[in-house]
Amino acid sequence: MMSTSPSESDTAMLRQPLGPDGRTVRRPRRLATPVVEEFVDQIVGGEIPPGSPLPREAALCEHFGVSRTVIREVLKVLEQKGLLQVHNGKGAWTTERDSWNLLDPLVLSARVRHDENLGFLSHLVTVRMALEAEMAAQAAVVATDEQIAELGELLSELAYAMGDVQRYVALDIRFHDALMRASGNELGRTIVLAIIEKAHAYPRYGAAELDHVRRSQPGHTAVYEALIARDPERAMRAVRDHIGGAAMLRSP
């Protein structure tokens, strides 16, 4: 059974929120979501290492200013994300990294945010390249004429937007999304879009510049021409070259 009298050591591992004056701020009572987000950030960021026992239930209630019902919901959600193992009556422990559900939006976002050596970026690029190259090959076979025409229109818009980096990046995402939709692979498209979204959210992964835009545009053209030719092998190579080259250009 968990003790009902939390000790100071129970909450030592938990980050204390600070106000503008540098003093500790008492959290208002709130629902589970912000508590889940804070735990995800601390676990994935390494502040709470794998194999660590979480503080007792009563200590968590006091620290976060929430009820036992909310804390139990938080623990359940964290367990579903693969970050905790909960044993009824015995407590909860953080899991090893290979148990984390990296397809979960919160976990993936935190993993990107705490990618200090940018090794995770390499994994993201590898996964994206493999999935999107396969989808491009499929699109070369199954895409409708209308879908290929849409890609052609986006290619023209990209050419006109080369002087506006922000607009170009937005159109770039639309171009790749249209390519993946044309393949019919819904699962692959969902995974790749999540990867793109998280990578673009963090400028330290390498912000696009005008030179990147100019050197990236021929890759879009090569992909489009491969689809026009209905050549799956050529489409696959074009996507690999394009994504790999863009990643090298933008790598910090």
> 195 and 227: one domain?
yes
Q: Which among 198, 240, 204, 197 is positioned nearest to 118, based on CA atoms?
A: 204
More confident residue, 1 or 106: 106
Residue with token string 């999540």: 194
> 142 and 211: one domain?
yes
pLDDT category, 124, cuts 50, 70, 90?
Answer: confident
> 90 and 125: one domain?
no
Question: What pLDDT does residue 15 have?
Answer: 62
Please report whether residue 68 resides in a domain: yes
> 190 and 71: one domain?
no
The total number of residues shown for the chain amounts to 252
Q: Last residue of some domain: 45, 67, 99?
A: 99
* Helices and strands of the chain, counted as H and E runs: 10, 2
Q: Last residue of some domain: 70, 99, 128?
A: 99
Question: What pLDDT does residue 101 have?
Answer: 94
> 147 and 244: one domain?
yes
Please report whether residue 111 resides in a domain: no
Secondary structure class of 18 (helix, strand, coil):
strand
> 86 and 133: one domain?
no
Tell me the backbone φ, ψ of residue 189, rounded to 5 degrees: -60, -45
> 181 and 71: one domain?
no
Q: Which residues span the domain enclosing 234?
A: 118-250
> 124 and 246: one domain?
yes
More confident residue, 78 or 251: 78
- Interhelix angle 32-44/68-80, rounded to 10 degrees, is 50
pLDDT category, 5, cuts 50, 70, 90?
Answer: very low
> 122 and 89: one domain?
no
- The DSSP secondary-structure symbol of 117 reads T
* Alpha carbon distance 207, 224 (integer Å): 25
pLDDT tens track for 72-103: 999 999 999 999 998 877 889 999 999 999 98
The tokens for 158 are 């990209």
* Total domains present in the chain: 2
Question: What pLDDT does residue 119 have?
Answer: 84
Please report whether residue 86 resides in a domain: yes
Over residues 109-136, the mean pLDDT reads: 89
> 71 and 192: one domain?
no
How many whole angstroms from its chain centre is CA 28?
29
Please report whether residue 110 resides in a domain: no
pLDDT tens track for 6-50: 455 555 556 655 554 555 555 544 478 899 999 999 999 999 999
Q: Does residue 223 surpass a pLDDT of 90?
A: yes
Find the range with the poorest average confidence among 6-10, 139-143, 183-187, 208-212.
Answer: 6-10
| DSSP code per residue over 24-65 | BPPPPP--HHHHHHHHHHHHHTTSS-TTPBPPPHHHHHHHHT
> 188 and 219: one domain?
yes
* Alpha carbon distance 243, 133 (integer Å): 9
E strands of 42-172, at which residues? 84-87, 91-94
Q: Last residue of some domain: 99, 130, 159?
A: 99
For residue 202, give the CATH number of its domain.
Answer: 1.20.120.530
Q: Does residue 2 surpass a pLDDT of 90?
A: no
Please report whether residue 107 resides in a domain: no
pTM as predicted: 0.75
The tokens for 39 are 């735990």
Please report whether residue 108 resides in a domain: no
Please report whether residue 209 resides in a domain: yes
> 27 and 137: one domain?
no
For residue 89, give the CATH number of its domain.
Answer: 1.10.10.10
Q: Residue 165 in contact with residue 213, Cβ under 8 Å?
A: yes
List all residues 6 or more positions away from 35 whose beta carbon is below 8 Å from its beta carbon.
64, 66, 70, 71, 74
Q: Does residue 118 surpass a pLDDT of 50?
A: yes
Over residues 97-126, the mean pLDDT reads: 88
